[in-house]
Amino acid sequence: MSPRRAAFAVVACVLAAVPSAAAQVSGPAAVRMNQTGFEISGPKAATVASAAAAPLPWRVVDTAGTTVARGVTTVFGADAASGETVHQIDFSTLTRAGEGYRLEVANQTSRPFGIAARPFARLKYDAMAYFYQNRAGVPISADHVSRPDLARPAGHAREVATCFSGVDQRGTAWPGCDYSLDVTGGWYDAGDHGKYVVNGGISVWTLVNAAERARSAGRGAFDDGRLDIPEAGNGVDDLLDEARYEIDFLLRMQIPDGATARVPDGRLAPAGEPLRLIEIDAGGMAHHKVHDRSWTSLPTAPADAPAERLLYPPSTAATLNLAAVAAQCARVWREADPAFSATCLTAARRAWAAARRHPAVFASSAFDGGGGYGDGQVADEFYWAAAELFAATGEAGYLEALKASPHWLGGPRSGASATGDPAWPATAALGTITLAVVPTALDPADRDMARRRLVEAARAYLVEGRAQGYGLPRGGTRFEWGSNGALMNRAMILGLAHDFTGEAAFRDGVIHALDFLLGRNPLDRSFVSGWGARPMVNPHHRFWAHSVDPAWPAPPAGALSGGPNNTAMTDDVARTMAGHCAPLTCWADDLRAYALNEVAINWNAPLVWVAAFIDPAPLDDQAAGAAGSAGRAQ
């Protein structure tokens, strides 16, 4: 039994009496709130749909029926994102710990809820477990999962792949290559068995950044032995051990020196026409991805996947993702493992040089069997990689590249240098975060500007949250594929703003983002498996496929659904909803709904960051365990 499993043994006794996640999905409640509970001193908010024009009285009662808080609602009115007319309730003045509270308003009564010191204590660990359970190349051991049915044999245990050859869906004839790479390991990206450098990059960076923040705070949440992984006990932070599993894979995707490749020439051919290929010296570049020649069916265990595995052509975006993550690795592992650090730095320098030689090699999305992750604009990746290389080396050349970038010291909302919100196709904000938080030779005035730009974005998010009936810190009525992951990336910016300023409003904004994920939404659903009264139970995933066949497992606790999506409704389930759902209700808990209910590493990574920000301490004792499992439904 690992140290963490021993620490949680008492929690298992509590959870044994709790029905399974699937069994807990009941009808929706009219009073929508965080289904996990609330912190004693944190914000407490709810939303109720009502057309009443005047404020409504509300009260909170305890298990004896005694009123412990009361007030009147705030009339929000028409909420375009939910398609409802709503009132908002703030009961933050209630600061007495307890279970079984109920909120009563307008003849509606909420489910019982709790107030505790650490209601989210376990969330960071459940969210982190996603990564171990989606490892490729190794068996997922029953010793390291919460239920025996989650164990499985190794998928793609020895993955030696060569380049795709043949004709793609556009009619482009790809010649293949004269080498193979051993690309064993890494994480399966999402519901399929693909492994993608561009999405692995932002996911690893986010986890390593969370590890650095935890280390600097001195709280020890991810110290050796805290996570239930095979590497626990090796003297290294467990979160870094998990990140290294993906970094090792990313390093394997780099093309050897002297190799050539045929790649698109940088011009965009008309839709449906073959691309024009040119031959380049590809040494140092990174293959964009590795995945099956054709899509596998649902369900399919990784060990049983029958399709041929292939490397797909290199891209500048993938190469710069490798440069950025390898440079971050070189800095973070410099003392813990100097040899690994040196390997990472060599890879980062090679990748940077290769991307500079070939700055416009863009990925084609015309292949079957895996996601495209195409990105036709890489100024953001150049900026991010330069920031990481400067932080790792202090060399003037990288600083010059940073200052020449259109994103220099930009934040998500900072005018001409704006980076946009962090996302796999928009990574420049990660570079600014590194310049803002990592000690370097950067002029202090520039570091302060980077911080101000991030705080500016966070303030804008708070303003947008006040314009939403459900309080989530983003505006408008357009919600993209993976909107929940995007929301967590915004919450990460809010958390950094709190670090920089100490202002409570920013931490409250992070809580409001979690509130939305965990039940304060018009669907009255928790988008995190195993958390809340009505958790997501049917993700689009080839192994967690219980809804297709009961012989397959339901998901473990801690997997984040992609969430509402009214802009790319491409699967069969979503297409039936298009034009018939309010933006925040364009979602279905259906394994077939990959555009709505897929799970992915780049969504779970910021969930880990946010959960560790809200509760940065380890989970060691019975009291913390009980608090941390209060809203958990497994």
- At 357 the three-state DSSP class reads helix
- Which position among 291, 540, 541, 546 bears the catalytic label? 540
| CA atoms 48, 50, 53, 59: torsion sign | negative
- What tokens appear for 354 in the block? 């290769």
Strands (E), 450-525: none
Instruction: Tell whether the model's pLDDT for residue 3 goes beyond 60.
Output: no
Eight-state DSSP code of residue 95:
-
CATH of domain 123-511: 1.50.10.10
Residues 6+ apart with CB under 8 A from 496: 433, 436, 437, 454, 458
Residue length, the chain?
634
pLDDT in tens, 576-625: 999 999 999 999 999 999 999 999 999 999 999 999 999 999 987 444 44
Average pLDDT of span 321-335? 98
Q: Is 549 among the catalytic positions?
A: no
Q: CA of 325: how far to CAs of 299, 321, 330, 507, in Å?
A: 32, 6, 9, 28
- At 275 the three-state DSSP class reads coil
Closest to 140 measured CA to CA, from 153, 129, 128, 130:
153
| Residue 26 binned pLDDT confidence (cut-offs 50, 70, 90) | low
* Residue 532 φ then ψ, to 5°: 95, 175
Instruction: Tell whether the model's pLDDT for residue 7 goes beyond 50.
Output: no
Eight-state DSSP code of residue 277:
E
Q: Is 381 among the catalytic positions?
A: no
Cβ pair 275, 203 in contact under 8 A: no
Which pLDDT score, from 0 to 100, does residue 516 have?
98
Arithmetic mean of pLDDT over the chain: 93
Which pLDDT score, from 0 to 100, does residue 633 have?
63
- Which position among 39, 192, 380, 381 bears the catalytic label? 192
Using CA atoms of 65, 67, 69, 72 in order, give the dihedral in degrees to the nearest 10.
100
Residue matched to tokens 């390291």: 144
Cβ pair 474, 465 in contact under 8 A: yes
Average pLDDT of span 151-159? 98
Residue matched to tokens 């020439």: 265
| Residue 9 binned pLDDT confidence (cut-offs 50, 70, 90) | very low
Eight-state DSSP code of residue 553:
P
- What tokens appear for 489 in the block? 């990336």
CA dist., res. 227 & res. 465, Å (int) = 34
Q: Is 580 among the catalytic positions?
A: no
More confident residue, 502 or 27: 502
Strands (E), 165-302: 165-167, 173-175, 180-182, 195-196, 260-264, 277-281, 286-292
- Which position among 228, 375, 589, 615 bears the catalytic label? 589
Cβ pair 312, 388 in contact under 8 A: no
* Residue 116 φ then ψ, to 5°: -145, 165
| Residue 632 binned pLDDT confidence (cut-offs 50, 70, 90) | low
Angle at 113 between CA 111 and CA 118, to 5 degrees: 155
Q: Is 589 among the catalytic positions?
A: yes
pLDDT in tens, 546-556: 999 999 999 99
pLDDT in tens, 432-466: 999 999 999 999 999 999 999 999 999 999 999 99
CA dist., res. 73 & res. 64, Å (int) = 24
CA dist., res. 429 & res. 413, Å (int) = 10
Task: Name which of 97-106, 162-171, 267-276, 343-352 the model is least confident about.
Answer: 267-276
Overall pTM > 0.75:
yes
Strand partners, 67: 61
